[in-house]
Chains A and B, each alone.
Chain A
C-alpha cells in the first residue's frame, strides 16, 4: 500500500528544481514550467521581447534585453547588454553597454564595451565601440569607429609607456624576399 501511494503522488508534484518553491507556492504548482522560466529569467535579469511584438518609439531600460520582435525608433540600455535575436528586426539607433546582433539592424549602433555581429547577423549603419567583432558570414555595411579605445589609452596614467608597447602580432611566416620595382 505504501509503495502504491508514493507512485500515485509523484507525478502530481510540480517540476520545480527546489523544494522550497514547491512548498511555498501551491498556486504556482498549477503552472510549474512558466513559473520556472520566469524565475530563471529574473535571476539573470534578462527581458525578452517576443517575435510577435512590434514597438515604435523609444525603449529605455536598466536590465539586459533580448529582442526577437520588431522595433523602430531608439533603444537605450546604457549599462546593460542588448541582444537582437535571430528573428529580431530593428530600425533604430541603439545605445548599450554591449550589443549582440544575430538578427537585422538598420541604424547606428553605439556600445561602451563591445559590438558583436554574429554569423547571419546583419547591420547597416555606423558602429561606435571600443571593441567590434564581425563573424564570418555576417553582413555589415557602414563604418566602424573604435577611436574611443585609443582615446582611453592616451588619457591613461602612463601614455608614453603604452605607446611604446609593440602591438600583439600573431605568429607568422617570414615574408618572401622581394625585389624593389624600378
Chain B
C-alpha cells in the first residue's frame, strides 16, 4: 500500500516535471530582485512592460508593488511592422511611445532589443531613457550570440529570482547579439547598475537613470 502511494507520488512528480519542461525554459535572474527592490521604496510607482501581456505578471507586479502598469506590447508592433516598408522601423519607433518625459519609474524590456536592428535599438533606447524618471530602473536581457531561432518569448515571472521563458510563434525575425559597448552607448543617460552573464548565455542588465546634474 505504502509502495503504491510512493509510486503514485513519483509518477505525479515526473508528470509535473514534464509539464514544466513543456511550458518553457526556467531562467534564473539576478537583476529582477534588484529591479523590484528599486521600485518598492517608491509610493505608487509606474511600471512599463514592453513584453506581451502576461496575466500572472500583472497580478504579481501589481500586488507586490501596488503600482500602475503600462502594458506596451512592442513585440507585437515589431512583428506586425511590414518588412521592406518605405518608413523604416526606427522612424516608427520614434513616435511610438507617447508618454511624458520622466513619467515612468521602471521599464521591463525583456529581450526586445535582440530583435531590433541597431538604428531601431538606438531610437528605442533613447525614447525609454527620456520617459524614465531620475533614479528609475530599466531591466533588459541581451543574447550573447545571434540566433536563427526567431521566435519571440513571453517571460513569466515566477518570483524574485526566476522567470520562465515561453517562446510563442511569430512570423520570425533575426535575433541579433549586440556587443556590450553598443548597449552601453545606446542607453546614454543611464548607468549600468548591475550586469550578469548567466550560464545560459543571456546577459542581463539593470540600468538606473542618473540625475542630470552629474
Q: A residues bordering B, Cβ < 8 Å?
A: 117, 131-136, 138-151, 153, 167, 169-170, 172-182
Contacts and interface: CB of A to CB of B under 8 A. Distances in A.
B55 A169 contact: no
Contacts of A174: 28, 161
27 contacts: A117-B55, A131-B63, A133-B55, A134-B54, A134-B58, A138-B53, A139-B53, A140-B71, A141-B73, A142-B71, A143-B68, A143-B70, A144-B69, A145-B69, A146-B68, A147-B68, A150-B66, A153-B66, A172-B158, A172-B162, A175-B29, A176-B28, A180-B196, A181-B195, A181-B196, A181-B197, A182-B180
B15 interface: no
A17 B64 CA distance: 48
Interface string B11-38: 0000000000000001011100000000
B159 A169 contact: yes
B68 A178 contact: no
A143 B58 CA distance: 10
B180 A173 contact: no
B45 to A, nearest CB: 9
B203 interface: yes
B71 A143 contact: yes
Interface residues of B, number: 35
B46 to A, nearest CB: 9
Given A150-B66, A172-B162, A144 B196 contact: no
B108 to A, nearest CB: 14
B200 interface: yes
Contact of A150 (B30, B44, B53): B44
A173 B58 contact: no
B160 interface: yes
A167 B53 CA distance: 22
Interface string B198-214: 11100100000000000
B50 interface: no
Given A179-B197, A181-B180, A135 B55 contact: yes
